[in-house]
């Protein structure tokens, strides 16, 4: 996977966020402050502009720029959390021109670690970690099993979607939704839903 692949991934995420913006905002309206879709849409619009202006030459440089742009442009918790995820992934890739599936898996695990460090969230807290962790685990398992990239990223995307859906019955223990206590039960976590979009976009780009 080269710089072009990761640029296509980011484009695909931006398109997915745009088309699901209102849905993400509705999820956030139920248990948060109703800005998640708009925040991410604004963030990825800024990311597209930053990438067009800088045209980074390696996957690592591209993802670090994505991350720092999200941190700068997106308020609330999601900017720093997603920004950290992309930056950590970019840093893990170093200055390599191409990234293998195993290296992608390592980079996504570094991203997850960064998110968990910053948000102090574990699986089951009803956050983006509930989609991210099973997706990263599914990809790591697929790498160990020697599965082809397209199939591996299909497994990761499915795990993220299932993880996001599995947040519905949970009570939030981290983030703004945790203020609602038991009233957070019965709603999908917006951060987990947007994380599923990220992994879905990866699957889409790999399938081309």
CA distances from 74 to 33, 37, 78, 144, 165 (A): 14, 11, 7, 36, 25
Instruction: Tell me the C-alpha distance between 5 and 8, whole Å.
Output: 5
Q: Is 98 in the site for Mg ion (CB under 5 A)?
A: no
Which residues, other chains included, contact 162 with Cβ-Cβ below 8 Å and sequence gap of 6+? 134
Give the 3-state secondary structure of residue 98: strand
Site pattern 34..63 for Mg ion (x: CB under 5 A): -xx---------------------------
CB of residue 194 to Mg ion, shortest distance in Å: 11
Rounded (10°) angle between helices 21-31 and 190-206 = 160
CB of residue 20 to Mg ion, shortest distance in Å: 15
Q: How many residues bind Mg ion (CB under 5 A)?
A: 5
Q: Which is nearer to Mg ion, 36 or 126 (CB)?
A: 36
Q: Which is nearer to Mg ion, 56 or 190 (CB)?
A: 190
Handedness of CA 113, 133, 202, 26 (dihedral sign): negative
Q: Is 175 in the site for Mg ion (CB under 5 A)?
A: no
Instruction: Tell me the C-alpha distance between 87 and 158, whole Å.
Output: 24
Q: Which is nearer to Mg ion, 35 or 88 (CB)?
A: 35
Q: Is 119 in the site for Mg ion (CB under 5 A)?
A: no
Q: Is 33 in the site for Mg ion (CB under 5 A)?
A: yes
> Residue numbers of the site for Mg ion (CB under 5 A)?
28, 32-33, 35-36
């Amino acid at each position: 996977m080269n710089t072009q692949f990761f640029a296509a991934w980011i484009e695909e995420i931006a398109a997915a966020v745009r088309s699901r913006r209102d849905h993400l905002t509705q999820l956030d309206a139920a248990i948060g402050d109703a800005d998640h879709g708009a925040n991410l849409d604004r963030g990825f619009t800024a990311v597209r502009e930053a990438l067009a202006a800088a045209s980074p030459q390696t996957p690592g440089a591209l993802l670090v720029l994505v991350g720092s742009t999200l941190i700068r442009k997106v308020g609330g918790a999601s900017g720093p959390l997603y920004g950290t995820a992309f930056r950590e992934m970019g840093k893990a890739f170093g200055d390599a021109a191409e990234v293998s599936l195993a290296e992608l898996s390592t980079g996504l695990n570094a991203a997850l670690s960064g998110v968990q460090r910053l948000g102090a969230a574990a699986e089951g807290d009803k956050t983006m970690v509930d989609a991210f962790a099973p997706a990263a685990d599914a990809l790591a398992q697929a790498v160990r099993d020697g599965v082809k990239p397209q199939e591996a990223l299909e497994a990761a995307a499915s795990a993220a979607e299932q993880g996001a859906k599995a947040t519905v019955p949970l009570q939030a223990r981290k983030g703004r939704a945790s203020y609602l206590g038991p009233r957070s039960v019965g709603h999908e976590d917006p951060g987990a839903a947007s994380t599923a979009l990220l992994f879905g976009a990866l699957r889409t780009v790999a399938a081309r």
